[in-house]
Every structure is written in C-alpha cells, then in structure tokens.
Amino acid sequence: MATFLISHSLTSTPIRRRLISSSSHFRAITLCLRHSISSRSTSFSTSRIFSSMTAVEVPGSTSKVSDRGGSDILHFVKYQGLGNDFILIDNRDSLEPKVTADQAVNLCDRNFGIGADGVIFAMPGINGTDYSMRIFNSDGSEPEMCGNGIRCFARFIAELENIQGNKSFTIYTGAGLIVPEIQSDGKVRVDMGQPVLNAPEIPTKVPANKDGAVIAAELIVDGTAWIITCVSMGNPHCITFGSKQCQTLKVDDLNLSEIGPKFENHTMFPARINTEFVQVFSRTHMKMRVWERGAGATLACGTGTCAVVVAAVLEGHSERKCTVDLPGGPLEIDWKEEDNHVYMTGPAEVSFHGSVRL
C-alpha cells in the first residue's frame, strides 16, 4: 500500500514526508502525491484538529477504503467533480455524521486542513432508498443537495461496494430522492428531478411575475438593475444573463468575489442564494461562473448548471439540451419535456485517500 505520513512539526515550518511502504517506490509515489495535492492547492500543516500525523494514500493503491482501522482515526477519500472537491466519509453505519460542522470547517481549510469545498457523508438509506447523503459546506452550513457532490458520492459508493460497470442508486438527500447512474465511460448521469419555480418554495421574496415564478425579473444589487430568474433544484439559485445596463455578460470580466456575496446575502433571499452568471454562445452552448452559498467561488456547481439551463429555456436563450462550460470543465444538461426532469452528466474522480486524527 502506497501510504505516506505527512508529519507536522510543532517547532519547525517544513513538512517532513516519511514513506512507510517500500522505499523503492519513493520517487514515483512522491511525484504522484505532489500532483494530487499541489494541483489542488492543498497544504498540510499544523492544525487545531489534527494530531502530528496525517496519512495520505495516492491513487492506485489496492487497499480498500473500509479496511483502514483505528477508532480515533477518520478515514476519507478526496474526490473532485470538475474541480469542485469534496472529502468523502464512509458513514454507512450511522445517520449521525462522524465529524461536526466545526470540524468540517477545519478539514476544508486549504491552508491548515485537507482542503475542500465540503464534506460529504455516505449514510444508510432512508424511506427505502439505497443510501442517504448529507453535506457540510466549507463554512459549516448544510445545503440540501450538491450536484457535483452527488456524482462524487456515486463513485465513492462504487469504490466502497466494489461495483463494476453501469449501476444506478437511489439516494435520499435534503432535496428529496436523487438517482445517479454510473456509466460505462466512468461519467455519472444524474436524474436531478423537477425544477421548482414557485417563488415562496425557492425561497425568494422577489415578486413573482409569471404564474407564481420569478422569470427575467429585476433585482437591484449594489445600485445595478440585474435581470434574474429564480430556480430551485432542491437548493435555491438566482440566474442572471445580464443587467439592464449590460444585457450580454462576459463572465470572465466579473469581479466574482465582490458581486457574489451581495447576491448571496441579499434581503430578497431569506435562505441566502447560489448565484450563476451566464454568457450565451449559442442555443446549445453557454458558459457560467458561480458564487455558491456557503462556499463562495467554486470551479463547478452541478445544481447551478441545471438551474442555468432551466432559466435559459424560460427566458428563451437556449434549447433544453445544452453544454455548459464551467471553470473546471463542461457539463451536459438535458431538461426533458416528457417528464420535466433535469438530467446532468459529468465526471467525478478520486484525488487521494487519507486518514486524519481528530
């Protein structure tokens, strides 16, 4: 098993790496570990929640996730879906998360923890489902669901259960029943269910302007009149293709860290909001950037991408089947007219396995 101990010195800054498997693999494993960790800007350092050692296993190890013992050790697998990264925890023996929201904040810290956009727990099924899923965001809040996270969840379950080939699961989430399917090419197709457009259910206080929905409505944010559509995919989204002053966005020009929080915490969104800024290239191709509630700017957002296509159709910008480019890569979205369900297809990949003493 290719396992490292990342040793945290309490008296010196440098991190000492000590190989505890065959030394003949040192160079190859070090390079793989460096790629897995450094490419995600993850830094392991002294932390209030860590002991002096964290074990990290690089991709390709033959050991199983569930085989690593020690009751005081938290074992995890780091996954990413288009750069939206998560710490996955095998919690199938309990409906109580193995870490608290405060511990999740520390684990997600990219300077003093593992580094992630959130912590996801694979739990026993509820109400006849195969599994249930809970998430803590990097700020400790708990969202109803996460589209990229559900794809990572499906791949994690396949690893835990040693499942090969095509397979679908039923997963209970805070947004209801979600059904992901692992495909033969390794991508995950997810039935994300029906979009919710009724304003109070999203929830938003923006006055409904079309059959109870908020579609191409005006919202004043920091003195600018933005044109927005509100959609829930089990969690709330505000989608904008532009403002009255600038009807065609160039999303790469946005100062997301400045404008994003002003949408997220706007008084018109009592549960806060995820916000997607969208640039339309054609009726089947768009580009978006997202400011996620509780996580900030991320490289991808699955539910947000689904909401973007719904909003684009409602505003007349696109067809129901589209490719949406995100900073982390593209997702394929299909809002099917026959059942009103939104289907999302995209990748989910393991970054590394690890263990941490809480």
Q: What is the percent of the chain where pLDDT is above 70? A: 80
- Sorting pLDDT into bands at 50, 70 and 90, what band is 105? very high
Q: What is the percent of the chain where pLDDT is above 90? A: 76
- Clarify whether residues 203 and 189 are in a common domain: no
pTM beyond 0.85: the answer is no
| Structural domain range at position 160 | 3-193+348-357
- Clarify whether residues 175 and 314 are in a common domain: no
Measure the CA–CA gap between 91 and 122, rounded to whole angstroms: 5
- Clarify whether residues 161 and 15 are in a common domain: yes
- Clarify whether residues 173 and 233 are in a common domain: no
- Clarify whether residues 293 and 320 are in a common domain: yes
- Clarify whether residues 19 and 147 are in a common domain: yes
- Give yes or no for a contact between 301 and 329, defined as CB atoms under 8 angstroms apart: no
Residue 50 clears pLDDT 50, i.e. is over it: no
Q: Which of 230, 238, 301, 322 is catalytic?
A: 301
Torsion sign (Cα): 154, 160, 165, 168: negative
Active site residue 32: no
Looking at residue 45, the DSSP 8-state letter turns out to be: -
- Sorting pLDDT into bands at 50, 70 and 90, what band is 71? low
Residue 328 clears pLDDT 80, i.e. is over it: yes
- Clarify whether residues 134 and 173 are in a common domain: yes
- Clarify whether residues 29 and 153 are in a common domain: yes
Q: What is the CATH number of the domain that holds 18?
A: 3.10.310.10
- Look-up: residue for tokens 């065959």? 22
Provide the pLDDT for residue 49: 37
Neighbours of 9 (CB within 10 A): 12
- Clarify whether residues 231 and 302 are in a common domain: yes
Q: Which of 146, 152, 230, 322 is catalytic?
A: 146
- Clarify whether residues 50 and 165 are in a common domain: yes
Measure the CA–CA gap between 321 and 64, rounded to whole angstroms: 38
Measure the CA–CA gap between 20 and 57, rounded to whole angstroms: 11
- Clarify whether residues 166 and 53 are in a common domain: yes
- Clarify whether residues 151 and 230 are in a common domain: no
Give the total number of structural domains in the chain: 2
Residue 296: CA atoms inside 13 Å, Cβ hemisphere, count?
Answer: 10
Provide the pLDDT for residue 118: 97
> What kind and span of H or E run contains 334?
strand 329-335
Measure the CA–CA gap between 120 and 55, rounded to whole angstroms: 19
Q: Who has greater pLDDT, 351 or 25?
A: 351
Active site residue 152: no
Short-list 264, 269, 8, 288, CA closest to 137: 264
Three-state DSSP class for 349? strand
